[in-house]
Chain A
Amino acid sequence: MHKKALHEIASIVGKDNLLTAKEELMCYSYDATNQKFLPEAVVFALNPQQISEIMLLANQYLFPVIPRGAGSGFVGGSLPVEGGLVLVLTRMNKIIKIEPENLTAVVEPGVVTGSFQQKVESLGLFYPPDPASLKISTMGGNVAVCSGGPRCLKYGVTKNYVLGLELVLPTGEIIGTGVQTLKGVAGYDLTSLFVGSEGTLGIITKITVKLLPLPENKKTLLAIFPHLDDAARTVSSIIQARIIPATLELIDQAAIRCVEDYLNMGLPTQAEALLLIEVDGDRDTVTKQKERIKDICLKNGAGEVKIAHNSEEEEQLWKARRSISPALLRLNPHKVNEDINVPISQIPEIIRRINKTAKKYQLINVNFGHAGDGNIHTNFMINKDNPDEVKRAKQAVEEIFKATLELGGTISGEHGIGITKAPYLEMEIGKKNLSLMEQLKHLLDPNHILNPGKLSLT
């Protein structure tokens, strides 16, 4: 980057908010993909005006600008693949307002999702999107990739909660999109265009979200299945019975054994699958749904259904699910983590195909995730120091993506495309859509300076 540009950035944000030492830049070279690209500078923005001025400079000096929240993404969306300036939004972290009477809230992009949820829940309100990273990931980052999570089966994903945005466009204009109300159809739905655009079309500086009343009650069940097929079929059966649980998580045998090995918590290691199910709502609904789900599980071949009677038992049941990620790394040091999504009815089939592929390429494979909405996290546990294993994992991923598309699914339910899935995007959306995306990108960002090298945009 041009020295003069750096100098001008420093005068916009103040010296303390600009990092240029190599040691500091290195700490912004990675995200949760563990890939590294060194930026040329890092800036902490504090308000939209600063960002606007920075974007003007970027167009003048032609350097890339890469927006970044907590850097917890799994697809490299915040990596400075072409160098340039990493624009960190963690310090724009105010909850501007929560309006219980309107069921809305306005937040800055750096607000940590989990903290926001705690805050609204203390007021009897509810913001459902719950990505696993919610303790660290930011609202801005969640909106940029349209994050999901276990609760999205019943409550929908991030985009279902975003009513309006304030953004800085790549050319520096500050715009507002959407509404502050629960409805609104004035003009094109630009908000939807920006939600999930992975920081390639604009920099989010303010988010208006919709809130729900906090459900008064919930119950957690754990169903143990001797056969994986039965568990997968149960998922569809529950939905077909017109019950939408808040969460419906699947844990396969490899994951069960892994967690049991890690925690010794008495999990049934002979079972091929567990379903962890949570229902919420008023007391009557919860009781009724709990009983019906229990019946459906037993009818479909569950050996046993455990129901948590208090919060400690509930915590115990969830512990198994939450411990999968840490436990997995005991199998092998690295994981290739994909988040394919298929129609609910295709879950048994995709799991059969995944396991077949894993066998074919001799890979350790663990499946778990949000089976209720068809979003399966399939993990190949590999050692990156073994180039052959890396190659086999790549082939397996491609094969699974193909199978997913054949079954009417998508290659990413909630992680995004970034750089890691970019080579496969066209496979799913086709040339025409990709070209339309490129035209939109060019219209908003004529110099291609905002988060370049992502989403296979050229």
Chain B
Amino acid sequence: MNNLKKLSKNASQCVKCGTCLAHCPIYAETLSEPTTARGKLSLVESLASGNIQFTKKLNNLLFSCLICNTCGENCPNDVNVGEILLEARRELIDHRGLPITKKFLFRHLLNSIHALPLYLQAGSLIQGLLLKKIPKESGLQLRFSLPFLDKKRLIPALAKNFFCEHYSPAAKANIEKKRVGYFVGCATNYLFPHIGEATLRILNKYGVSVSIPSDQKCCGLIAFGSGDWQSTQKLALSNIEAFEQLNLDTIVTTCASCAATLKNFYPKLFEDADDETQKMVERFSHKIMDISQFLTQEIGITSKLKKLPLKKGNLSRITYHDPCHLNRTLGITKEPREILKSLSNLEFVEMNDASRCCGMGGTFNITHYDLSMNILKHKLDTLETLGVEMIATGCSGCIFQFMDGIHQRGLKTRVVHIVEALEMG
């Protein structure tokens, strides 16, 4: 059976009941059926039956999706919409080719060890020219309009020192009880090195030495989500190779999107590969652990934290946003909350609809900026009503999105990664 037929068979499991309409963050804004899961699934079916072709329109419709898979999670018929759409995008790219900008980015930049940092370092130098600094926030705003970026948006500043360059190959604990690998990910490496630094401090503190291979690359999600499996496979193989020689049992991540890619999408990419490759990929994926999971399960951090005496006085209040990739892809929801609840200096407050997608969706935020921000609006409304000082999450994409939206609305809420919150606790 060819791929398209297989896809269509899966898509036809959708009985068009419409339950997805209640859960799709995009439909809530557009109220238009082509943006729903059942709409897109019926397009996939029609594609296989030859009723429609690989047109630009189809391309736009299949990319009008956050792949948050909230629809799939709530589907009475258990249709894995997210996976079907990711595969449909692959078919699209196979038939239509990659847009030139994406081709350059995925096939050249992401894959080249030296080129990306070089470009980015150049970027770090010229960002003062392109972007204007906003005094109080750590972010930057566009100074000039660019064709693919909205001028209003807030962009995090490129780090002066990229994380891996500084901390690779390892950060050793004084008394080593465990050893793990750290898959850093692009956002932490180039934009948020402080997340990586906090991670190292915490791990070292609990006797965990951390290996940070310098030749690790982008996880590839941006290419995978765009349908470019070929580039993602290349990235996957070099990442696996970078860690394989270190003989580690565990590789931690601090970005939900990277974790989902390494753990769930890598094996998918190699489903048709030879046995040996499949086994190697499985072995690698099996080692991947989100930092909150590692800290709670392997370190028992919550019981260690609870031993600290409670401080008196007005505690800062913190809430938590579930990244789609942690919650729906990997099923991690308890661990980050357990950590936040056991912090002595912070009061954890649950927000309504904590698992509602923030609207980032990788490149969706670039191709559909206004829509993406309208989706975020629901979360910001909740945050504003809740009136918390901080919101914690576990995904660089969500952090990026919240920073932008919070800045534009002029809220005082600080966006932090779970590991940052932990250091405050």
Contact = CB atoms under 8 A, between A and B. Distances in A.
A136 B27 CA distance: 11
Contacts of A24: 34, 57, 61
B33 A71 contact: yes
B88 to A, nearest CB: 13
A22 B51 CA distance: 9
Contacts of A90: 31-32
Given A29-B42, A325-B76, A23 B34 contact: yes
Contacts of A33: 16
Interface string B16-52: 1111011000000001111010110011001000011
Interface in B297-353: none
Contacts of B38: 27, 30
A88 B77 CA distance: 26
Interface residues of A, number: 34
Which of B34, B43, B61, B78 has the largest count of A CB atoms less than 10 A from its CB?
B34
B15 interface: yes
Given A329-B76, A333-B13, A26 B46 contact: yes
A329 B46 CA distance: 23
Given A23-B55, A90-B32, 7 more contacts: A71-B18, A71-B33, A88-B32, A110-B31, A114-B22, A329-B15, A329-B77
Nearest to B55: A23
Nearest to B15: A34
A44 B76 contact: no
A135 B46 CA distance: 28
Contacts of B33: 27-28, 71, 88
Contacts of A27: 33-34, 36, 38-39, 42-43
A135 B15 CA distance: 17
**Which of B22, B46, B77, B78 has the most CB atoms of chain A within a 10 A radius of its CB?**
B22
A233 interface: no
Given A23-B43, A136-B22, A326-B77, A72 B17 contact: yes
A49 interface: no
27 contacts: A23-B57, A24-B61, A26-B43, A26-B51, A27-B36, A27-B38, A27-B43, A28-B33, A31-B18, A32-B16, A32-B17, A32-B18, A36-B42, A44-B32, A70-B18, A71-B18, A90-B31, A91-B31, A93-B31, A112-B22, A114-B22, A133-B18, A135-B22, A136-B22, A325-B76, A326-B78, A333-B15
Interface residues of A: mostly helix, strand, loop or mixed? loop
A26 B42 contact: yes
A330 to B, nearest CB: 9
A429 interface: no
B160 to A, nearest CB: 45
B250 to A, nearest CB: 31
B202 interface: no
B380 to A, nearest CB: 20
A136 B18 contact: yes
Interface string A42-66: 0010000000000000000000000
A334 interface: yes
A44 B77 CA distance: 29
A21 interface: yes
A215 to B, nearest CB: 25
B22 A30 contact: no
Contacts of B43: 23, 26-27
A29 B19 CA distance: 17
Q: Most chain-A CB neighbours within 10 Å: which of B15, B18, B77?
A: B18
B17 A23 contact: no
Nearest to B19: A136
A23 B52 contact: yes
A72 B52 CA distance: 24
